[in-house]
């Protein structure tokens, strides 16, 4: 189509129309360029200009509100801009949370609560939103809603689990509330809570969480439970530790071979199972002067034994021990098979049994020296009136002399001494 522009008036009108179109385009283009450029340096003058250039941009309104709130210039203006932001875009949880924070400072508690609820409704599963909401509810003293939102954080953000549990415990001091309202039913999260209570030295709460963990009936790594057993033993909660070990074996069937029996209270006394280094199995540490190794070529019974190699220095012990639950004022019999090769020292290794808490000595066998075939070490003893846990270990007394050579041990046994019938 062609437009005839023969008269001056028509030509002028057309030119004016083109000019207006170009002017409007340039105006929109200039705004589109200047507004984000100004907002990129978010100070009050720039943000004021950006909102005037693009008054329908929710992000600029939110940035201006935040800048006003942080500067303390005018809280009411900050609230007004946050309100405009959520009106322009009600689907951004961050805008609602910033509005809630401003209401909190202004003392408008009802409006604050409504804004937080809107944020959670808009974005109910994002950990960052739930974290902000939980903390705002904590400040208001609303534990139930705080715990509910911490549950979202704990379930979805592994890095925030410990911090969230810290806040939950500080706010409530009640393990049952946290278990019921904040913790998803997952062993890893229950174990995280258990670790926190161990650090806090909360014995009763830790036992409560442990029982809930077992009640999940979900298998988890045995090693993750070892700090709990160490904690109970340290607190002299021997009966609780013994029960917990049995419970753990019920959840993790691979732990069944590590249960003591009536015939032998020593766990894994023949070293036929891998040493767990915790709980009621053998505990061991790294000692370059007394190296431990499982030997499958030399044994008294079964198919394995434990070999200890002394390198010529003076280690005080072999670096291996086991806690054994016993009864007070009860007679016991101990036996262990041992073999030596070229052990040279003025003080050889010995089997020792002591009270785990008082260090009262019950057994200290003769030291093992030279080269000898497999032979048994025997001992009988009676526990004290208050003894319920003993420590079985391999020591040197005195520990000062240098020692070189190899020791093999196998078939270690500890049981109640049979009563002698008249």
Query: What pLDDT score was predicted for residue 406?
Result: 98
Q: What is the mean pLDDT of residues 308-337?
A: 97
128 Cα distance to chain centroid: 20
Query: What pLDDT score was predicted for residue 249?
Result: 97
Please give the Cα distance from 9 to 161 (Å, whole number).
76
Structure tokens at 283: 């505990």
Residue 161 resides in a domain: no
Q: CB under 8 Å to 186, separation ≥6 — which residues? A: 216, 218
Task: Judge if 288 and 341 occupy the same domain.
Answer: yes
101 Cα distance to chain centroid: 31
Residue 165 resides in a domain: no
Task: Judge if 252 and 304 occupy the same domain.
Answer: no
- For residues 75 and 69, the answer to whether their CB atoms sit within 8 Å is yes
Taken in order 244, 246, 247, 248, is the CA torsion positive or negative? positive
- For residues 352 and 419, the answer to whether their CB atoms sit within 8 Å is no
Task: Judge if 299 and 411 occupy the same domain.
Answer: yes
Residue 371 resides in a domain: yes
Residue 365 resides in a domain: yes
Q: Exposure of 364 by Cβ count < 10 A (0-12 exposed, 13-18 middle, 19+ buried)?
A: middle
Provide the number of structural domains found in the chain. Answer: 2
Task: Judge if 246 and 288 occupy the same domain.
Answer: no
Residue 347 banded pLDDT, cuts 50, 70, 90: very high
Task: Judge if 216 and 326 occupy the same domain.
Answer: no
Task: Judge if 250 and 289 occupy the same domain.
Answer: no
Query: What pLDDT score was predicted for residue 5?
Result: 47
Please give the Cα distance from 115 to 93 (Å, whole number).
9
Task: Judge if 243 and 302 occupy the same domain.
Answer: no
Domain boundary at 204, 226, 259, which?
A: 259
Please give the Cα distance from 282 to 268 (Å, whole number).
8
Number of H helices and number of E strands within the chain? 14, 10
Residue 306 resides in a domain: yes
Task: Judge if 189 and 231 occupy the same domain.
Answer: yes
Nearest of 407, 394, 318, 325 to residue 363 by alpha carbon: 394
Structure tokens at 221: 């790594």
Lowest mean pLDDT among 127-136, 332-341, 406-415: 127-136
Q: Which tops the pLDDT comparison, 189 or 91?
A: 189
3-state DSSP assignment of residue 328: coil
Nearest of 410, 156, 167 to residue 269 by alpha carbon: 410
* Domain ranges, residue 252: 185-259
Task: Judge if 331 and 406 occupy the same domain.
Answer: yes
Whether residue 62 is predicted with pLDDT greater than 90 in this model: the reply is no
Nearest of 22, 92, 41, 83 to residue 50 by alpha carbon: 41
Whether residue 67 is predicted with pLDDT greater than 90 in this model: the reply is no
Task: Judge if 309 and 249 occupy the same domain.
Answer: no
- For residues 264 and 415, the answer to whether their CB atoms sit within 8 Å is yes
3-state DSSP assignment of residue 126: coil
Structure tokens at 206: 């830790």
Whether residue 169 is predicted with pLDDT greater than 60 in this model: the reply is yes
Residue 7 resides in a domain: no
Residue 229 resides in a domain: yes
Whether residue 318 is predicted with pLDDT greater than 90 in this model: the reply is yes
Residue 130 resides in a domain: no
Structure tokens at 211: 């029982």
Whether residue 38 is predicted with pLDDT greater than 90 in this model: the reply is no
Please give the Cα distance from 258 to 262 (Å, whole number).
13
Task: Judge if 300 and 232 occupy the same domain.
Answer: no
* Average pLDDT, rounded, for the chain: 87
Please give the Cα distance from 345 to 288 (Å, whole number).
18
Residue 121 banded pLDDT, cuts 50, 70, 90: confident
Please give the Cα distance from 75 to 95 (Å, whole number).
15
Residue 244 banded pLDDT, cuts 50, 70, 90: very high
Task: Judge if 395 and 288 occupy the same domain.
Answer: yes
Whether residue 11 is predicted with pLDDT greater than 60 in this model: the reply is no
Helix 226-234 and helix 238-251: axis angle, to 10°? Answer: 160
Cis, peptide link before residue 147, omega less than 30° from 0: no
């Amino acid at each position: 189509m062609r437009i005839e522009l023969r008269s001056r008036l028509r030509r002028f009108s057309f030119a004016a129309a083109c000019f207006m179109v170009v002017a409007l385009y340039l105006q929109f283009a200039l705004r589109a360029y200047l507004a984000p450029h100004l907002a990129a340096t978010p100070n009050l003058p720039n943000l004021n200009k950006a909102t005037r250039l693009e008054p329908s941009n929710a992000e600029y309104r939110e940035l201006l509100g935040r800048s006003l709130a942080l500067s303390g210039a005018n809280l009411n203006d900050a609230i007004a801009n946050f309100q405009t932001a959520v009106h322009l875009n009600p689907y951004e949880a961050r805008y609602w949370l910033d509005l809630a924070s401003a209401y909190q400072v202004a003392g408008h508690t009802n409006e604050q609560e409504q804004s937080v609820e809107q944020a959670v409704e808009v974005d109910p599963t994002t950990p960052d939103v739930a974290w902000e909401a939980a903390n705002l509810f904590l400040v208001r003293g609303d534990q139930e809603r705080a715990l509910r939102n911490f549950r979202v954080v704990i379930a979805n953000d592994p890095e925030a689990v410990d911090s969230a549990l810290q806040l939950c415990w500080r706010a409530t001091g009640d393990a049952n509330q946290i278990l019921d309202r904040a913790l998803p039913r997952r062993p890893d999260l229950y174990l995280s809570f258990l670790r926190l209570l161990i650090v806090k030295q909360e014995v009763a709460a830790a036992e409560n969480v442990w029982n809930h963990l077992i009640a999940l009936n979900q298998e988890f790594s045995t090693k993750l439970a070892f700090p709990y057993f160490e904690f109970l033993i340290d607190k002299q909660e021997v009966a609780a530790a013994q029960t917990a070990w049995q419970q753990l074996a019920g959840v993790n069937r691979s732990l069944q071979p590590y249960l003591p029996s009536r015939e032998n209270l020593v766990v894994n006394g023949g070293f036929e199972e891998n040493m767990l280094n915790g709980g009621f199995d053998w505990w061991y540490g790294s000692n370059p002067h007394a190296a431990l190794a499982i030997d499958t070529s030399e044994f008294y019974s079964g198919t394995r034994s434990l070999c200890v190699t002394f390198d010529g220095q003076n280690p005080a012990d072999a670096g291996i021990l086991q806690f054994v639950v016993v009864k007070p004022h009860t007679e016991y019999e101990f036996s262990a098979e041992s073999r030596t090769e070229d052990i040279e020292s003025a003080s050889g290794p010995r089997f020792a049994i002591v009270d785990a808490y008082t260090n009262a000595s019950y057994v200290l066998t003769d030291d093992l020296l030279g080269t000898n075939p497999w032979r048994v070490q025997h001992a009988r003893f009676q526990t004290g009136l208050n003894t319920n846990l003993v420590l079985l270990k391999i020591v040197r007394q005195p520990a000062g002399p240098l020692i070189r050579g190899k020791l093999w041990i196998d078939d270690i046994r500890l049981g109640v001494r049979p009563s002698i019938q008249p």
